[in-house]
Structure 1
Amino acid sequence: MPQNFKYPPDSDLRRLLRFEPDSGAIWLGDRRMVLMHTSALAALRQDLMNSVGADHARRILTRMGYASGLSDAEYAIKQRPNDSMESQFLVGPQLHMLEGAARVTPTKLTFDVAAGQFYGEFRWDHSWEAYAHQQRFGVVADPACWALLGYASGYTSAFMGKLILFKETRCAACGDDHCLIVGKPIEEWPDGEAHRMYFTDDSLMEKMEALQLQVEALKSSIEPEHPSRQLIGKSAAFRQAYALMEKAAKTQVTVLLTGETGSGKERFARALHELSPRSSAPFVAVNCAALPAELIEAELFGVEKGAYTGAHAARTGRFERAHGGTLLLDEVGDLPLPAQAKLLRVLQEGEVERVGAETTRQVNVRLIAATNVDLEKAVREGRFRQDLWYRLNVYPICLPPLRERLADISVLANAMLARFCSLHDKRVAGFAERAMQALEQHPWPGNVRELENLVERGVILACQGGMIEVEHLFPNLPKTAQTSFDAHGHLTELPSAQDDDLSARILDSGSSLDVIEARVLNHAVARAGGNLAQAARLLGLSRAQLAYRQKRSLERDQDAPDTAGEHPRKNECPP
């Protein structure tokens, strides 16, 4: 590391930090952040030390910082893919400063990722943690920047692919004018094993959780899922409906499931059947709205040979097929009145009469009806028989729409994620925080069925091993107002398509698209001081893409006449 050290430009990292005043969220890339008062963190620190002791408090705070460092390490290579390893590594110290931890100055830094070798010394000025600790406990004898040390260890360990332990050799909480930390592989510290407990448990738990997800996905791919396990939820509205379903399952009562389209009525019906004494008998479902009016009676009650033209053989109806088991009449509110009259007789007498038959047949069927229609209103309007409504409405269960089950969205989405990853042979790490927030804020007109479709789309669009981002779920989601901050720490509103004056000036200039592209390339290279990798980051390109565009711009410039104001000068765009 050079003695006169200078960080790479951090504009690429400052753009990661965005403020959304409309939604009340702060984002670092796709991770949600939060601003907290150092006095509140100091109070938490004091409470921890008073309640569980200094050793356990240190362990908790170190692990908190370690988790933060692991999260920030994801941005290192993603933000600077074409830079040197040193520039990629320095994403961590630069983010640590942007997040308000301390002013970080590397004094010694040597590492070799392939060989697993690392040694680093960093100076911290204005450490929030040293200040907070000293405010509560005065000058102390032992270093106190536990969360900051955890961050340094977590970030560096993720970057190096092995556990790197940082220790504080000087600390402002001990009366020094600054803090100084030293990091190297844990096995190179004489007492390294005594510090391993701060870091290894979390990584072990993560591996166990990942393994558990793989096992569950494998089980779901080789075993048919029990319908009752498809009912997932913890919200009060869901638990109330589920409790009613469980009580009805052990009886023979006719159940009426009501709720909006896509709220899961058929899954509830299947679960009710599986939990009932009839679970070994058939479960037959029929969508009354999907059947033509002239065929409904034949489908439900059967038909005798020769009953009408084309009836070349006798055929059993849905009631007979469900004998001994359960029949689900979905969208029962769409049955025509003649079929309603025959359905009422079946419920009263327990027997069906096939179309064209002269005798009746006994059936033993447990009926579940489902509808998204207000049957009471349909009765008043003469579209549904009142006596049939009374027969069906013995045990009503209203299934809540998904917008009233906000507590269930994350558990439902993660269960669907595991299922679709197995179905499509795709490995997806999970939902990014912005994506999950978007799911929880969506109005869900299509309910659980809509959520299922979105999660499947997200699995397909996400990168192998990556996260499902908000654009994978909602490609047309309008962007909310956002602010970031400049190099001087002043908040500035990020431009939008509606109020971007620069875009308007470009369009009004009359220049061709080729000329505009050449000017943008030149400006980016100039702002980056000739550093092509940094210029590529400013433009959101890889270095190879930038080089290709520069070459193409030069070739166009050579082929066309040099007209003032229309083409950039060749010496402004290095080859």
Structure 2
Amino acid sequence: MDAALTYPPDQDLRRLLRFEPDSGAIWLGERRMVLLHTAALTALQHDLITSVGKEQARRLLTRMGYACGLHDAGFAAKIRGSRTLEEMFMVGPQLHMLEGAARVTPVVLKMNAEAGQFEGEFRWDDSWEAHAHRLNYGVVDEPACWTLLGYASGYTSAFMGRHILFKETRCGACGDDHCHIVGRPIDEWPDGDAHRQYFEDDSLLEKMDALSQQVEALKSSLGPTEAGGMLVGASPGFQRAHDLMLRAAGTQVSVLLTGETGVGKERFARALHEHSERAACPFVAVNCAALPAELIEAELFGVEKGAFTGAHAARAGRFERAEGGTLFLDEVGDLPMPAQAKLLRVLQEGEIERLGGESTRKVNVRLVAATNVQLESAVERGLFRRDLFYRLNVYPICIPPLRERPTDIEPLARHLLARFTALHQKRLAGFSDRALLALTRHNWPGNVRELENLVERGVILAAQGAAIEVEHLFPNQPDVAHDGIDPQGRLARRAPQDEQALCERVLDSGVPIESLEAQVLALAVERSRGNLSGAARLLGISRAQLAYRLKRQQPAEND
């Protein structure tokens, strides 16, 4: 092999591969991986050929490898962005080896990214796919490393920004002692068009799925009223609340929505309105907690000219503006007592009286109220009228917090992703596996509103065409301890990245470990102002252990 084509050290890639035995996950960067028996993959290949035929099986397996290569290409610039183009490209072959595909030896590599020129030849030894195919079918006439070829084509195409086709000129399945592949732009192959079928999407199903995603993005880019309130969820608790909402929509009953802040009470109210016979009339929302007590009556019921200083003209209130439609009173528990009395009259008589007015006005409004506090407790403390509570509580709907509906997190996140990519005109590759896992493990104190904010931040921070990763959603989330792969291919316990970086700096400094220990002990004692117990707590050891270590340092200091 040409010296110019030797591999760079792969420690940077080994750090990508992480084992988390406690969580049952294996990670390659932000992508979750699994270990599969080659026997299982061999059985899959055999079943595909038997059930759908050789050509369709080849196409499916090539597409699978192509997708793997596309994902791995994202690591090249991230890991070796400051290296030469060739060293960046070698991430793919080195990852292919780490992932157990084959032993890859570069033979020829000529590339010009700006001009889109590429020519590559690689030798594969011990290809698992060639071995598997030969076990099942003996020596065959055509190359059979379909998944591996798909990977090479997918990785190189993503790296170069144009379709690069790799073909096998030798294959272990054909009786050769190794496999040999050649890659160049697909247009430069005389039979390139004949190979496109192995990489193209399913024409009908994929196009239908793409159109569905576009429609969803368009709906999400509309306002919440046009998008149907954005009610997404399939968990039992959510479905119970949704079913109650649909049952109430066909009636005129007043509804009380309860639940923690951010669970989506206004979205439920909008959906209730849009499923009702009042959908063509206004939906008016009022946050009672956001209005000053002295103005809330004027906002709700309207004012007559001259009712107070500054009232130069009569003005309709929210009830009148919602005529024929729905009035949503959020945080209804914050209404002052005078406004509560007037609200009760509206519910009982269906009429209002403007502030400063002497006559009543009939209103035809459906009331939906919401609260994140226990109104029963407010009634007991004399902060909320008991009779009003009973009028509002005719049809309560409790919306569960997001932490109690974990199965709804991923579909909600994907729905929000479609909405915000359309809003910010971004094209993203979705969420990384690790980002989705972090979303499902989060406690969500801010519920759906918090999820909405995190997804929008992720859309803004992620690079065009890339996936949203954990650091885009949770920038301060600490890394966790995990097992990695040492240069001999053995599992090796590794500390979190910040601790590992510290250890590497210590090793690079060349300072003896005894001197480092003395400095750390002295600093701990200094920070605790001479209190040995406090210093021991800082170091995570007992006071006796600290005293012993300090005493052990004394002879060295006296020399």
* TM-score, normalising length: structure 2: 0.79
Taking the aligned partners of 1:426 and 1:228, their CA distance within structure 2 comes to 20
On the 8 A contact 1:486/1:492 being kept in 2, the answer is yes
Q: In the alignment, which residue of structure 2 is the partner of 1:36? A: 36
Match of 1:372 in 2: 372
1:499-543 Cα offsets, whole Å, 9 max, x none, are 865667869879xxxxxxxxxxxxxxxxxxxxxxxxxxxxxxxxx
- The question of whether the paired residues in 2 share the 8 Å contact of 1:48 and 1:57 is answered with yes
Is 1:142–1:174's contact at 8 Å kept on the other side of the alignment?
Answer: yes
Q: C-alpha distance in 2, partners of 1:85/1:312?
A: 72
What residue in structure 1 maps to residue 387 of structure 2?
387
CA contact 1:228–1:275 (8 Å) conserved in 2: no
Q: How does 1:350-361 map to 2 (within 5 A)?
A: 350-361=350-361
The within-5 A match list for 1:164-175 is 164-175=164-175
* CA distance in structure 1 between the partners assigned to 2:4 and 2:470 by the alignment: 42
Distance 1:475 1:304 in 2: 52
Say which SS state the counterpart of residue 431 (structure 1) adopts. coil
Q: Which amino acid aligns with 1:394?
A: V
Structure 1 position 172, deviation (Å) = 2.7
Q: Deviations over 1:54-107 (max 9, x none)?
A: 322221111100111122222234433343333232222111101111101123
In the other structure, the counterpart of 1:569 is none
The 3-state SS of whatever aligns with 2:167 is strand
Aligned alpha-carbon RMSD (Å): 3.5
Q: Give 2:234's aligned residue.
A: 235
Deviates more, 1:243-252 or 1:304-313: 304-313
Q: Distance in 1 between matches of 2:231 and 2:492?
A: 43
Tell me how far apart the structure 1 counterparts of residues 448 and 470 of structure 2 sit (CA, whole Å).
18
Residues 230-379 of structure 1 mapped to structure 2, 5 A cutoff: 230-236=229-235, 237-304=237-304, 315-379=315-379
Q: Is the 8 A contact 2:224 2:267 kept in 1?
A: no
- Equivalent in the alignment of 1:54: 54
Contact 2:228 2:270 in 1 (8 A): no
Identity in percent? 69
Per mean C-alpha deviation after superposition, the further-off stretch among 256-265 and 320-329 is: 320-329
Contact 1:235 1:406 in 2 (8 A): no
2:146 counterpart residue number: 146
Match of 1:226 in 2: 225
1:162 aligns with 2:145: no
Secondary structure, aligned partner of 1:229: coil
Segment drifting more, 488-497 vs 207-216 = 207-216
Name the count of aligned residue pairs: 509
Which AA in structure 2 matches 1:244?
A: L
Cα gap change, 1:85 to 1:345, in 2 (>3 Å): closer
Secondary structure class of the residue paired with 1:468: coil
Offset, 1:421: 4.5
- 1:420-439 CA-to-partner distances (Å, cap 9, x unmatched) read 45555656554333323222
- 2:81 corresponds in structure 1 to 81
The residue number in structure 1 matching 2:20 is 20
Q: Is the 8 A contact 2:233 2:412 kept in 1?
A: no
**Alpha-carbon distance in 1 for matches of 2:486, 2:287:** 59
- 1:210-268 alpha-carbon deviations (Å, 9 max, x no partner): 898778767876x6553443414142343443343233223222112121111111122
Secondary structure of residue in 2 paired with 1:201: coil
Alignment of structure 1 residues 562-573 onto 2, 5 Å: none
1:407 shift after superposition: 3.5
Give how far 1:401 is off: 1.8
Q: CA deviation at 1:109?
A: 3.7
Contact 1:122 1:182 in 2 (8 A): yes
> Is this contact kept in 2: 1:124–1:179, CA < 8 A?
yes
Q: 1:169 to 1:351 in 2, by over 3 A?
A: same
Corresponding position of 1:547: none
What's the CA shift for 1:123?
2.0
Contact 2:152–2:166, Cα closer than 8 Å, also in 1? yes
TM-fit CA distance, 1:370: 1.0
CA distance, structure 1, for counterparts of residue 457 and residue 188 of structure 2: 47
- Give the Cα–Cα distance (whole angstroms) in 2 for the partners of residues 151 and 409 of structure 1: 31
Do structure 1's residue 133 and structure 2's residue 171 form an aligned pair? no
Partner of 2:529: none
Distance 1:321 1:193, change over 3 A: closer
Change (3 A) 1:509 1:461: farther
Query: Equivalents in 2 of 1:103, 1:216: separation in Å?
Result: 44
The reply to whether residue 180 of structure 1 matches residue 151 of structure 2 is no
| Contact in 2 for aligned 1:227/1:274 (Cα 8 Å) | no
Query: Structure 2 matches for 1:469-508, cutoff 5 A?
Result: 469-496=469-496, 497=498
Which residue identity does 1:489 align to in structure 2? G
Question: TM-score, normalized by length of structure 1?
Answer: 0.77
Higher deviation after alignment, 325-334 or 489-498: 489-498
SS at match of 2:400: coil
Give unmatched runs, 5+ long, in structure 1. 511-575
Q: d(CA) in 2 for partners of 1:156 and 1:315?
A: 67
* 1:315/1:185 CA distance change after superposition, 3 Å: closer
Q: Which whole-Å CA distance do the structure 2 matches of 1:76 and 1:179 have between them?
A: 25
Deviations 1:462-509 (A, max 9, x none): 345544332222121122112321211122233345686566786987
What stretches of structure 2 of length at least 5 have no aligned partner?
A: 514-559
2:68 matched to which residue of 1? 68
Residues in 2 aligned to 1:388 and 1:306: alpha-carbon distance in whole angstroms: 30
Partner-residue secondary structure (3-state), 1:200: coil
- Measured in 2, the distance between the counterparts of 1:158 and 1:276 equals 49
Match of 1:434 in 2: 434
Aligned-residue offset at 1:367: 0.7
Match of 1:531 in 2: none
| CA distance in structure 2 between the partners assigned to 1:141 and 1:470 by the alignment | 47
**Counterparts of 1:313 and 1:4 in 2: how far apart (Å)?**
84
Structure 1 residue 274: Cα displacement:
2.9
- 2-structure distance, mates of 1:136, 1:325: 69
Residues 349 and 50 of structure 1: is their aligned pair in 2 closer, same or farther, counting only changes over 3 Å?
A: same
Which amino acid letter does the alignment assign opposite residue 375 of structure 1? L
Q: Residues 219 and 227 of structure 2 are in contact (CA less than 8 Å); yes or no, is this contact kept in structure 1?
A: no
Measured in 2, the distance between the counterparts of 1:3 and 1:260 equals: 64
Helix, strand or coil: the match of 1:36?
A: coil
